[in-house]
Chain A
Amino acid sequence: MSHSKKASIFNKDIERTTWHDETLWFVRQKRDKMAYVIPEFQQLRDLASQIKEHTLSQLDEYLLEFERNALKNGVHVHWAADAKEHNEIVLKILKKHKAKKIVKSKSMLTEECHLNPFLQQHAIKVVDTDLGERIIQLRDEAPSHIVLPAIHLKKEDVGETFHQHLNTPKGEKDPQRLTEAARQHLREKFVQADAALTGVNFAIAETGSVVVCTNEGNADLGVNLAKVHIACMGFEKIIPRFNDLSVFTRLLARSATGQPITTYTSHFTKPRPGAEMHVVIVDNGRTQQLGREDFYNSLKCIRCGACMNTCPVYRRSGGHSYNFTVPGPIGSILSPNLDLKKHSSLPFASTLCGSCTEVCPVKIDIHVQLYKWRQQIGESNALPMSKKLSMKVMSKVLASSKLFSFSGKMGRTMIKWLPYSMTHNKSVNPWAKARELPEVPEHSFREWYKQNK
């Protein structure tokens, strides 16, 4: 189903759409407040972008340096070419330790690899411990935002889910009490877990460390109680130096949620005595993206979600309408790399206003790449028929001045004389779904100019 079709389902609930739109815009405004108190914020964005560009240009060397240092630290390093290999590596580690109960903190990579269902098939229980992720896990849904996974839900929805699964009183919708219920429920899981899985925000080549950022403390609580820590990372998470973290920790939370820094910025370098630490480095289509001249710098992304919060299309269509692990503008330039045909509607889910590019902390030219993907989708014949036909007609009309004047005249006359029900018919003119057509002028500019020159 195309993005617009899925979006129209989301849009059926007008009240919720408005709420979603306003809530995310509020997060964007918090970001502005936090960003601009730092006088050098724009300079930091430049630095972050340059560090990432440099890293991508020597990615092989930095990954090998990371591996050498991690091995020295007593960390096991694994490489996975795709999602399947990643999942099998994780399963093998868990099996070796006879681990049956797993706690997991937020990791978009494991979402991308569909790790949870895979492990469940092998009788391993995975509990997502980030509150938002736990909510959607209980509801058997996918996250709709990479930082705020349950942003599509209202507190009443969460209350109902917790009533069913955690025995909270029927009708309870107070966020404080619901969070407390989740705290109690998840403490039990933390204490019993055989292994802890985490994502990785940054991997440092120089020290072989991985850094994980959370607000809840769930990554640390899980890792530090369990015997085994498995950290899964897409290979673009690598940065060269320990000190580079100073740039990224100043940008990440400010861009993401408008906080000065996440509550916990945790640096895992060596396992504690008696425990094991594993890092799984995953490709899964990333090398291919690296080779695309126009799109490789999408790999600079640090997954802050700022482009989603600001995007007028994302805010009004919801994350699920993108049907991809990473929704919003950044997801729309990452997904066509993996399957151009399947995700061909996503680069069109944008007004090309450029707001995403403006807020991106690592200066990815997101809206330019959206435009470039559109060209590639057009060339590879992956456009839907309706778009293809109308493009053909438009290019004919725009190429001939006679045809253009004639159509203009026709249009002006038709809009004037046709009944409203026809000019604003939703299937003939989808533009008029929520808009009025402008008033029709008497003449075109050319006619006016002829008369007045």
Chain B
Amino acid sequence: MSAKEKIISAIKQNKPGAKELPVIPVFNAEENTIETFKQSVKTIGGEVIELASLAEIDVWLEKKFSTAENIVSAIVSSSVTISESSSTELLEKTDVAILQGEWGVAENGAIWLPEQNMLNRALPFITQHLMLVLNIENIVTNMHVAYENISSGAYGVFIAGPSKTADIEQSLVIGAHGARSLTVVLLKRAC
């Protein structure tokens, strides 16, 4: 008997009696979702900037990352071209990656980043600094609404703040293996 057959037959024999799968209710949406989202991002160590359009990002980049040499992006002008086939050596040199986030979650500051928006799966993690652009109308209250809106795709990640660790004496350190900073660029509604 294969391991699979052994396991499945043992489970059949031993499993407890049938229990129902609950329906997950829609939990009430809270008010002022955008403010809550901004607060959540700050709490988890991220920064929020609000821009009227993506064109304004250059000024901001100049101010914040003036020394950055390699800025990689699929949505604003890029100094390096990165694709799924880019070498690790090239990826490693990324100073700032600017990528489009799909959904922001108010209750925890997480942003859904599907593979299609990453240029390369390793980019959001190997870059020294990460900027996620988010349309303000794509902020939802909680994880239930977020999961209603997304599908698994091939690969996708909720990113909540910069990479962090507290493994040494529970002291919080920002910048473990992934991005040392996370900036959320909120794009206001076009009027």
On A, residues with C-beta under 8 Å from B are 23, 26-27, 38, 40, 43, 46-47, 50-51, 53-60, 63-64, 73, 79-81, 85, 129-132, 135, 148-151, 153-155, 158, 175-176, 178-180, 182-183, 186-187, 190-191, 204, 207, 209, 215-218, 220-221, 223-225, 235, 240, 242-247, 249-250, 257, 259-270, 272-273, 281, 283, 287-288, 290-291, 293, 296
Contacts and interface: CB of A to CB of B under 8 A. Distances in A.
16 contacts: A50-B21, A51-B22, A54-B20, A63-B8, A79-B4, A79-B7, A155-B171, A158-B169, A180-B175, A183-B176, A183-B177, A218-B177, A221-B178, A247-B24, A263-B44, A266-B156
Interface string B163-190: 1111111110101111100000000000
Contact of A250 (B88, B142, B166): B142
Contacts of A249: 143, 158
B88 A220 contact: no
Given A57-B18, A150-B167, 8 more contacts: A54-B21, A63-B11, A80-B3, A129-B177, A216-B163, A235-B7, A263-B160, A272-B154
A246 B146 contact: yes
Interface string B5-26: 0111011111111111110110
What 6 pairs across the A-B complex have the smallest Cβ distances? A217-B178, A291-B14, A260-B108, A132-B167, A216-B176, A287-B10
Interface stretch (B51-59, B65-73, B74-82, B119-127): B119-127
Contacts of B164: 215-216, 263
B157 interface: yes
B34 interface: no
Main secondary structure of the interface of B (DSSP, over half): loop
A187 B92 CA distance: 9
Contacts of B136: none
B49 to A, nearest CB: 20
Contact of B8 (A64, A154, A179, A243): A64
B84 A272 contact: yes
B147 interface: yes
Given A81-B7, A179-B165, A243-B147, A273 B84 contact: yes
A273 to B, nearest CB: 7
Range of interface residues on chain B?
Answer: 35 or more
Nearest to A191: B88
Contacts of A135: 167-168
Contact of A27 (B143, B147, B170): B170
Contacts of A153: 168-169
Contact of B11 (A60, A216, A259): A60
B178 A216 contact: yes
Contacts of B105: 261
A221 B3 CA distance: 32
Interface in B120-163: 120-122, 124-126, 142-144, 146-148, 151-163
B32 interface: no
B52 to A, nearest CB: 29
Contacts of B151: 242
B94 interface: no
A242 B88 contact: no
B95 interface: no
A38 B107 contact: yes
Contacts of B4: 79
A296 B13 CA distance: 13
B121 A79 contact: no
Interface centre among B164, B176, B177, B178 (most CB of A within 10 A): B177
B20 to A, nearest CB: 6
Contacts of B16: 53, 56-57, 290, 293, 296
A246 B157 contact: no
Nearest to B120: A224
B47 to A, nearest CB: 15
Residue with the highest number of chain A CB atoms closer than 10 Å, among B44, B144, B147, B158: B158
A264 B178 CA distance: 10
Contact of A260 (B109, B167, B169): B109
B110 interface: yes
Contacts of B173: 175-176, 179
A270 B155 CA distance: 7
B159 A263 contact: yes
A243 B151 CA distance: 9
